Structure 1
Amino acid sequence: MMTFPLLSGRDFRPLLLPAVGMALGGLAVVAAYNVAAQVSGDRGIAPVAASSDIEVLGVEVDTTGDTPEEAREEGWREAQRKAWEKAGGPEISDSQLQSLVSAIVVEREQLGPNRYIATLGVIFNRQRAGNLLGRGGAMTRSAPLLVMPITYSAGTATMFEQRNAWQRAWAEYQAGASRIDYVRPSGAGGQSLLLTAGQTTRRSRYWWRNILDQFGATDVVIPVAKLDYTYPGGPISGRFTARYGPDNRYLDSFTLTARNAEELPQMLTRAVRQMNTVYERALDRGTLRPDPSLTYGEGEIDPALQRLIDLGRQLESYDAEQRRAARAASAARAEAASGAEQGTQAAETPTTPAASVATYSVQFATPDAAAFDGSLSAVRGTPGVRGASVSSTALGGTSVMSVQFAGSNDELAAALSARGFSVQRGAGALSISR
């Protein structure tokens, strides 16, 4: 029979330490892999370079020709004429119009042996065409605004966690002609961890300042797309909502529909242009302006808060005046009592001593400024009260005052009850309410 030596707890330590070290090392490798997996993959879509050229999209053409090339050339010439008319340009020759065109954008096309059907976009050079279209002047632009596009589909909110059609529509949008200065992140690398739908629900200005400083933006716009698929391969309904600011405020919303998944990119492109119109109207109204709480300066104070601050200052000044008056009256009574005592030392009949003045703590409900002022005034007008000063102010809660009263705690409670208060007694303190 084989025997084995018994090992004590101390004997196990050389065996446990390497095992624990290996386990911790394995956890560190798994954590590093998870972080790398969260920021790797096809996430980023780089935005196109912004240009100030004049862009006219959604021009439909249907032309014919002896060859496919001739049909396409005729279609492009017709698209230029339609786009120029749509932009409100004056009547000019085809050769002059050709010199104003910077590029043709093919949104969708079908090319046959002698027919060309397409939906095109035409981009006109602003420097050459701006004067003819009346758009050569300077435009009032917004402050730099960070774009955080959110897609809701199948109950899931997605921003930059993975590539999606809504993010691509914003990345491919030609924003140079817009009066909104969009700052469009690509979503690559660690941006997918920093910019999420959850960030739009945060109200901490510290978090928002850190994010905006990294992208050189002043404020944020949050275009939201909620996509509902009727059935696989069927119509897609999109509900688009324009929001802005660190408090995720609502601006406007609209609905668009695509007949199938193939038309989804075109629907989202139209939605981006319509969303830009919403933001430009908000800029004209003065709504889309940087939130002052996002700046490191003093900023603006809400008028309601300023009124409360002014009221608090008035109450503090009133309390100081009351305390000075109470001290002056107390000194006058002490001097009068001293003179009376000296004049009646030989009198055989003693006088009735005056009631001593004691200080009591009184709690009172202050749901608003009016209740605060009313309770304080009523207590100060109670018979026997020599003074009342506020020691703690809590509008919307319970405030505390110190009351100087000539009498006992029970007598003060009875006097306050006579003033219409509901009084609850405590050890050296009272709680009153209306």
Structure 2
Amino acid sequence: MSHAISLQPALRRPAIVAFAIAALCALGVAVWAQVGGERGIAPVASTRDIHVTGVEVDVRADSGTEARAKGWVDAQRQAWERINGPELSDSQIEGLVSAIVIERERLGPKRYIATLGVVFDRQRASRYLGAGGEATRSAPMLLLPVTVSAGTQMIFEQRNPWQRAWAEYQTGQSRIDYVRPSGAGGDSLLLTYGQTGRRSRTWWRNTLDQFGADDVLVPIANLRYAYPGGPIEGTFTARMGPDNEYLGSFEMTAASSAELPAMLDRAVVRFNRIFEIALANGRLRPDPTLNIGTPELSPELQRLLELGRAMRAQDQAAAAAEPTAESGDSITAAPIRTPPPEGSVALYTVQVATPDAAAFDGAVSAVRGTPGVRGTGIRSTAIGGTSVMTVSYSGSIAQLADALRARGFTVNQGSNALAISR
């Protein structure tokens, strides 16, 4: 009996080992499943060309091929009218078109019905349209498209129509500089719905730095299905920043699941409009509390530092002037960098982040239009880097910094210079 009992542990060991191996394998599969599988949609390449979508045509002709050719000419003319182009011949308009995008089409023996997109080459079309759309763009904004449906919230956990709508959106004409993650690999673990509820600036700063963004935009699509295959009601809400600030909302309805992608495409355009309005109103700018690397000094402490520098400059100037008076020379001492008296005009150096030519033009125009600025001069131009300009301003450098912040700039203040960016 005792011999039989002593064999039980030995008989159980293979089963225990097999169970442990199976558990480890299952754990490995589970970890892989969180970052692997069919997920991730790469965003389309952005272009500055003029893209007109949703052009509907219905043309009849002697053959299907001829009907299609006439339909494309009609679509080009309709698209040109949509962007308020001047009156041109069909051949001239065709010379401005760089591509025709077939969104949906049906070709019959003598009829062509389609929904098309027309892409105009901006360089060729700009001589007729002017410089419209060249306004200054926003700072890089990380995009987190949230889908809420059936009590669940999802961003990149699996491929979904809302993610695809943003990935396929052509952002080249938008004033918003979207940073669109693909959702592949570790993105689905880092960028979750729970992330949008975090308030830690350090956590957000680490996340934003991984994607080269300055702040975050959260377009939320709340989709409610009446029944499988039936109408879909969508409530869309725009939020931004680490504090989940509300920007606007709207509602749309799709007649069926087949119409859902078209509804989401229209919703993306509406979101972009909300974000652009917020940018124009000065609301869509990076949260200054996210800039944890270069904290700003309080105005009182900054004023004390300026007074201390001014007193030191006066002492140095007085010491340098003494030998000049004894020798009888008429050499003028170096100017003293003291805060200018009230109402006087002083010259300051302003460094401007200019990632592109449009940013340079917009920054120069905005600085020149700042109240109190008497004149500006360009010392150096660096497209894709930092340009330097001089600003004549009637007031102190702290007042100039406040005036530029009111114009929508992010300002870092030095002793006698400012660094600004959008």
Q: Same fold (TM over 0.5)?
A: yes
From 246, 271, 279, the counterpart of 1:275: 271
1:146 aligns with 2:105: no
Name which of structure 1's ranges 192-201 and 20-29 shifts more when overlaid on structure 2: 20-29
1:237 touches 1:258 (CA, 8 Å); kept in 2?
Answer: yes
Partner Cα distance (1:135, 1:57) in 2: 21
Q: What secondary structure, in the 3-state scheme, does the structure 2 residue paired with 1:222 have? A: strand
Structure 1 residues 191-242: Cα deviation after superposition (integer angstroms, max 9, x where no partner): 1111111111111122212211111111110000011112222221111111
From 93, 103, 114, the counterpart of 1:118: 114
Residue equivalent to 1:28 = 24
Partner Cα distance (2:17, 2:224) in 1: 50
From 162, 165, 168, the counterpart of 1:169: 165
1:83 aligns with 2:82: no
Residue equivalent to 1:4 = 3
Residue equivalent to 1:133 = 129
Structure 1 residues 73-105: Cα deviation after superposition (integer angstroms, max 9, x where no partner): 111110100110010000111111111111112
Q: 1:110 to 1:23 in 2, by over 3 A?
A: same
1:127 touches 1:136 (CA, 8 Å); kept in 2?
Answer: no
Shift of 1:298: 4.2
Structure 1 residues 111-156: Cα deviation after superposition (integer angstroms, max 9, x where no partner): 2111111111111111111231123573200111111000111111
Q: What secondary structure, in the 3-state scheme, does the structure 2 residue paired with 1:47 have? A: coil
Paired amino acid for 2:208: L
Residue equivalent to 1:258 = 254
Residue equivalent to 2:220 = 224
Shift of 1:287: 0.4
Partner Cα distance (2:194, 2:153) in 1: 9
2:133 touches 2:173 (CA, 8 Å); kept in 1?
Answer: no
Residue equivalent to 1:383 = none
Matches within 5 A, 1:38-49: 38-49=34-45
1:126 touches 1:136 (CA, 8 Å); kept in 2?
Answer: no
Partner Cα distance (2:126, 2:217) in 1: 29
Q: Which runs of 5+ in 2 are unaligned?
A: 301-422
Paired amino acid for 2:265: T
User: Sequence identity, in percent?
Assistant: 61
1:195 aligns with 2:191: yes
Matches within 5 A, 1:346-361: none
Partner Cα distance (1:22, 1:302) in 2: 65
Residue equivalent to 1:181 = 177
2:229 touches 2:257 (CA, 8 Å); kept in 1?
Answer: yes
From 151, 155, 161, the counterpart of 1:155: 151
1:284 aligns with 2:280: yes
Paired amino acid for 2:42: A
2:58 touches 2:71 (CA, 8 Å); kept in 1?
Answer: yes
Shift of 1:106: 1.6
Partner Cα distance (2:139, 2:43) in 1: 19
Name which of structure 1's ranges 22-31 and 254-263 shifts more when overlaid on structure 2: 22-31
Shift of 1:12: 9.9
Shift of 1:4: 2.0
2:217 touches 2:241 (CA, 8 Å); kept in 1?
Answer: yes
Residue equivalent to 2:93 = 97
Partner Cα distance (2:68, 2:154) in 1: 39
Partner Cα distance (1:302, 1:30) in 2: 55
Residue equivalent to 2:372 = none
Partner Cα distance (1:266, 1:301) in 2: 49
Partner Cα distance (1:209, 1:63) in 2: 54
Partner Cα distance (1:124, 1:217) in 2: 30
RMSD: 2.5
1:37 aligns with 2:36: no
Q: What secondary structure, in the 3-state scheme, does the structure 1 residue paired with 2:253 have? A: strand
2:202 touches 2:292 (CA, 8 Å); kept in 1?
Answer: no
Paired amino acid for 1:290: P
TM-score, normalised on structure 1? 0.65
Q: Which runs of 5+ in 1 are unaligned?
A: 307-434
